[in-house]
A and B are shown apart, each in its own frame.
Chain A
Amino acid sequence: MSGSLPTEDPLIRMYRELKRALAKDQSQVKWAMVIDQAKCIGCHACAVACASENRLGPGVIYRPVIEQETGTYPNVGRRFLPRPCMQCENPPCVSVCPVTATWKNAQGVTVIDYNRCIGCRYCLAACPYGARCSDFGGFYTTRTAEEPGLVQGRYAARAYEKQNAPEYGQPWGERGKGSPVGNARKCHFCLHRLEVGQLPSCVTSCVGRATYFGDRTDPAALVSGLIGSARAYTLKPELGTRPAVFYLG
């Protein structure tokens, strides 16, 4: 095999590191994500996988992929910026919440208690990355014809849409009027997957292997090396939010 090709899929390595991190004292773990823009091909697979994993309703998106055009003709370029929640170390969304419905957990992930959130959307206005969404309710299939036999798979689609994801490790019952409808929602690094030893959905679905995830306190972890790279940067560093999501430019 050519020496320039990786000998191991980074996913295999990240799974090994995840196992190591889960075996540690969890208060010592700090999750981080690194996104290599040179490898991202803008396929939106991560956005779709995330929407499917977390059963995101209409108008709710945790990880949109922003297309960026640079330069002026004929010196132009195009690159992609997947934008999950930055899991800021100093998150402006947390301090503004009037009812302490959102906070940082021990591993540095900003979480939301859907049962406490009053849906004021102050945190949406406070997040400088536009990373929070409000769930206004509804189903993608609302305008789909209801008569049997007209559209194949319509009932199956509604049945699928009605299931809420077990976000934050809790069963949220059938999607309808209860939480998370009316609440603020955001990417949580797929905490419910991490707890059972799985990498976040965007990481495993990334076709270009452009998204890396791991424990940044582990010096041998893939993310630790990448965060130290000269290419690494964070979004809006001037705001002092100290994101746990890094980009390789």
Chain B
Amino acid sequence: MNARVNKPLLYLSFIGLAALAYSVVDVFIHRTGGTHLGSYVPWGMGVVMYLLFVGFSAGGLLVSALTQMFGVRELKPLGGLATYAALVAEVCAGIAIASDLGRFERMFNFLLSPSLTSPMWWMFLFFSAVLFVSFMKAWAFAKRDDGLVAFWSWVSIPVGLCFYFTNGFFFSVLTGHGLWSGPVVPLLFVCAALLCGGALVTALAWWSMTNREGVIRLGCVVQLLLVAFVVLEGLWLWIGWQGGRVETLAAMRNLSAGPGAWAFWGLHVFAGMALPLFLLPQTEDNPGLAAWACLLILVGFAGARWAFVVPAQSVPMLPGLDTAWQHPRLMLSYLPSLAEWSMAAGVSGLALFGFLMGPRFFPGLYGSGPQTTKAS
């Protein structure tokens, strides 16, 4: 295991943490008033970052499923790392979404006045469950108790699948938004999460030098998931196109040719799908290349989430609504504010810090003995 800490990356994470501090203060002072969100584009960077980190957190589920259900023994040594990465990502996702609430101090109402008809309530429930199970799994790994590890790994599979499903379900019920609604979306979310989570664990395993065999094996799984994701996404867009609803087609035009098209074509399609699809088949003896291809998938996923969340909202619910009463909060265009960029940089910095310091703080989780190597 490589417990040396890359100092430039560590300093970069400190900048991120400073940005996080700034954005948290801004949230406490201005609530959502510091964002550039509005009533016609009510979700932006906060939701994008939440979905991004939710995707990153699925590596724990993927490795558990592969080792426990499918008996892929080469991946066993990656279990602790995958669980740790999932925990870090879940914490980051939680911060991103809690700070996006107009009245975050009332979150206890999820418990006091729950609504079982709301996909968001189920998402909250499964998010809490996933967080709890990840903690228990990490604890079991740290104790090196194989029985407990197996138990919590099995528990994490249905809980995790339900959680990633509810994230897609959350959007699929919004029939007013043609691009979001429909039964393919929850499946797309499950597949995207497994892909991203797998890519994250592959990259982290390579850079922390945990297990060469595991990196190659997981790289193959990521390759398969990427193919499945491409097929599902193609299906999703094709159904929308064939359905021919005016709002859906307008959202698709925004996605492919609107101001955010760079996120879709540049980040998502080129960096996140085409390049990894080209690189991954060549990584059988080259785990380093697999790790870089996975890093590209992660970067591309940020573009994918932006392309999913923002362009769909840039279509007026009724023609002419956006010009009926004019105010910056009643517009269809959206660019994040400084506070929102800070929050994005902040949770990314927190994740980077967590991933860098993981091998030093939690050597047990990474499958080694007490850490002895000094920081470089």
Q: Answer whether A100 and B330 are a contact pair too, CB < 8 Å, given A83-B321, A121-B42.
A: no
Return chain A residues, CB-CB under 8 Å to B32: 119, 134, 136, 182
Contact of A117 (CB < 8 Å), options: B43, B100, B103, B174: B103
Provide the main secondary structure of the chain A interface.
loop
B109→A66 contact, CB < 8 A: no
Interface-side segment among A91-99, A188-196, A205-213: A91-99
Provided the pairs A96-B119, A98-B115, A130-B316 are in contact, do residues A116 and B106 lie with their beta carbons within 8 angstroms? yes
CB nearest to A135 among chain B residues: B102
Check B324 for interface membership: any CB of A closer than 8 A: yes
B110 at the interface (CB under 8 A from A): yes
A94 → chain B closest CB, angstroms? 8
Is B102 in contact with A59, judged by CB distance below 8 angstroms? no
- Dominant secondary structure of chain B at its interface with chain A: loop
B328 within 8 A of A: yes
Chain A nearest Cβ from B175, distance in angstroms:
6
Closest partner residue, chain A, to B122 (CB atom): A98
Contact bitstring A48-86, B, C-beta under 8 A = 1, else 0: 000000000011110011111000000000000101000
Contacts of A128 in B (CB 8 A): 175-176, 317
Residues on the B chain within 8 Å of A68, using CB: 319-320
Which residue of the partner chain A has the closest CB to B107? Answer: A118
The tally of CB-CB contacts under 8 A between chains A and B is: 163
Residues of B within 8 Å of A, CB-based: how many?
49
Shortest distance in angstroms between A23's beta carbon and chain B's nearest beta carbon?
Answer: 34
Report which of A60, A137, A182 forms a contact with B39, defined as CB distance below 8 A: A60
Task: Say how far B132's CB is from chain A's closest CB, in angstroms.
Answer: 19
Query: B117 within 8 Å of A by Cβ?
Result: yes
B306-348 to A contact mask, C-beta < 8 Å, 1/0: 0000000100111111011101111000000000000000000
Chain B residues with Cβ under 8 A from A96's Cβ? 117-120, 173-174
Query: For the complex, what is the distance from the CA of A59 to the CA of B322, rounded to whole Å?
Result: 11
With beta carbons under 8 angstroms apart, the residue of A118, A124, A135, A235 that contacts B101 is: A118
Nearest CB on A from B337, distance (A): 11
- Does A29 have its Cβ within 8 Å of any Cβ on chain B? no
Whether, in the assembled complex, B253 has its beta carbon less than 8 Å from a beta carbon of chain A, the answer is no
Query: A248 within 8 Å of B by Cβ?
Result: no
Q: Taking the complex as formed, is B4 at the interface, i.e. its CB lies under 8 A from any CB of chain A?
A: no
Contact status A59-B330, CB under 8 Å: yes
| Distance in angstroms between the alpha carbons of A235 and B118 in the assembled complex | 24
Query: Contacting B317 at CB < 8 Å: which of A67, A119, A130, A182?
Result: A130
In chain A, residues 142-183, which have Cβ atoms closer than 8 Å to a Cβ of chain B? Answer: 177, 179, 181-183
Chain A residue with minimal CB distance to B327?
A: A59
Does A132 make an interface contact (CB < 8 A)? yes
CB distance from B3 to the nearest CB of A (A): 41
Cβ-defined contact, A130 with B42, below 8 A:
no
Q: Is the CB of B175 within 8 A of A239?
A: yes
Contact yes or no, A101 B102, CB < 8 A? no
Tell me if A99 and B324 are in contact (CB < 8 A). no
Most buried by A among B106, B120, B323: B106
> A205 vs B115: C-alpha distance in the bound complex, in angstroms?
38
A199 to chain B, nearest CB (A): 22
Contact B102 A119 (CB under 8 A): yes
Per the 8 Å Cβ criterion, residues 86-136 of B in contact with A are 100-104, 106-107, 109-110, 112-115, 117-121, 124
Please give me the residue from chain A that is nearest to B175 by CB atom: A239
Name the one of A59, A122, A183 contacting B328, with C-beta atoms under 8 angstroms.
Answer: A59
Contact B117 A130 (CB under 8 A): no
Contacts of A222 in B (CB 8 A): none
Answer whether residue A125 sits at the interface, using C-beta atoms and an 8 A cutoff.
yes
Known: A99-B114, A99-B115, A138-B33. A64 touches B106 (CB 8 A): no
18 pairs of residues in contact across A and B, judged by CB atoms under 8 Å: A47-B325, A60-B39, A81-B318, A96-B118, A96-B119, A96-B173, A120-B101, A121-B37, A125-B176, A126-B173, A127-B176, A129-B318, A130-B321, A133-B330, A136-B31, A181-B31, A181-B33, A182-B102
Binding site for B on A (CB under 8 A): 47, 58-61, 64-68, 81, 83, 92, 95-101, 116-122, 124-130, 132-138, 177, 179, 181-183, 235, 239
